[in-house]
Every structure is written in structure tokens, then in C-alpha cells.
Amino acid sequence: MRASLLALGAVVALTGCGVVSNVTDRITGSGRQAFDGQFFRASLAFDREAPADFVVRVQDAGRSVTGAREAGRYEATKHCIEFFGNSAAVWAVGPDSPDEALVFDGGALVLTGRCEG
């Protein structure tokens, strides 16, 4: 009985910390962020020696260029916050660039920018 109460207490404590929900989201994918009603695979590349400069690739951008733009912005924002403590980014080709300036590579939207730190 005592072990059951301790286990229940541990589950309640973990739930309060958000650990259980984070694990559940990762398993089910329910924590994924949708942009313009679509889910995108986005990746951000940077040089460890110069993390301010980055390139974001958003796969299958043709499903929604609007959503792909925002998915790219989201990835860059996370990166800049993680490395520089703020979300400020200066874009060479970014989510607010005109349509004719956007770069596509094999169906992926490619955005480039730099975190201001």
C-alpha cells in the first residue's frame, strides 16, 4: 500500500512539472506545432564556431508557403533564444521576404539569417 501511494505521489509530482505531458507529447506527436493548418519538418543548420548565422530548411513548402514561412521563423526564433537569449533575427532571405525573393530547393523553402545577440 505504501509503495502504491509513493508511486501515485511521484506521478502527481511529475505531472505538475510537465514531465509526463512532455513525454506523452513526444510519443504521440501531439505537441507538434501546426502552421497554416499544416505540420512541417524544419531543420536549422549553423556552424558551432559562429552560431549567429543560420540556414533553415522547411520541407514540403508547397503545401502552404505561408505555413512554411512561419515554420522557418519558429525554428530561427528557438535557435536565437537558445544561443543569444532573445528572438531577434536579421534575415537575408526570410519569412517576410517577397515571394519572388524566396529560395526553394527540391520542394524545401530555404531561409537564411543571423541572430542579433
pLDDT, mean of residues 85-96:
97
* Statement to judge: residues 2 and 56 lie in one domain: no
Contact between residue 75 and residue 100 where contact means Cβ atoms under 8 Å apart: no
* Statement to judge: residues 48 and 21 lie in one domain: no
Contact between residue 70 and residue 95 where contact means Cβ atoms under 8 Å apart: yes
Is 6's pLDDT higher than 60? no
* Statement to judge: residues 99 and 43 lie in one domain: yes
Three cell numbers at 65? 508557403
- What pLDDT does 42 receive? 97
* Statement to judge: residues 37 and 25 lie in one domain: no
Whole-prediction pTM: 0.74
Mean pLDDT across the chain: 84
* Statement to judge: residues 77 and 90 lie in one domain: yes
Contact between residue 89 and residue 115 where contact means Cβ atoms under 8 Å apart: yes
- What pLDDT does 56 receive? 98
* Domain hosting residue 69, numbered range: 33-115
- What pLDDT does 32 receive? 83
| 43 to 21, 35, 55, 89: CA distances (angstroms) | 24, 15, 8, 16
Total domains present in the chain? 2
- What pLDDT does 117 receive? 73
pLDDT, mean of residues 56-80:
98
